[in-house]
Amino acid sequence: MKIAVSSNGKTLDDQVDVRFARAPYFLIVDGDQVEVVANPNLSAGGGVGVQTSQMFADRGVKAVIAGNFGPKAFQVLTVAGIKAYSVGGKKVKEAIELVKEGKIQPVQAANKASHW
């Protein structure tokens, strides 16, 4: 399963970023492969949640991990069939393991208010 994680750094040992769409980096994990993506939407004024969610849909991501998800991002993820997991205070690799082991359930709604 291809998983994207918002991260404050470029490695699996960095922390999951509390922000979904405004994280500085995303780690896209597919099996043993890890792709580091600098957030191309970081400086955008608005619509970042939608743009970031669409980016992951276009890349075939099946699950995303972040601390929080806004309503527009969550809506796009849901329509795209991407599960969203809220994991805070963990390293990226720990969060991925929790999801893979089924120890954390996907969120059922946005857990952060819209900024716009």
Which tokens sit at 89? 């205070």
Q: What is the DSSP letter of 17?
A: P
Q: CATH number of the domain that 54 lies in? A: 3.30.420.130
Q: What is d(CA 16, CA 60) in angstroms, rounded to the nearest whole number?
A: 21
Helix (H) or strand (E) holding 114: none
Per the structure, the complete domain to which residue 89 belongs is given by 2-100
> E-assigned strands of the chain?
2-7, 25-30, 33-38, 63-66, 83-86
Give the number of domains in the chain. 1
Q: Give percent of the chain with pLDDT exceeding 90.
A: 77
Q: Nearest-5° angle of CA 48, CA 1, CA 16?
A: 50
pLDDT 10s per residue in the chain (116 long)?
999 999 999 999 999 999 998 899 999 999 999 999 999 877 777 778 899 999 999 999 999 999 999 899 999 999 999 999 999 889 999 999 999 999 999 999 887 666 54
Which tokens sit at 38? 């600098």
- The model carries a pTM of 0.92
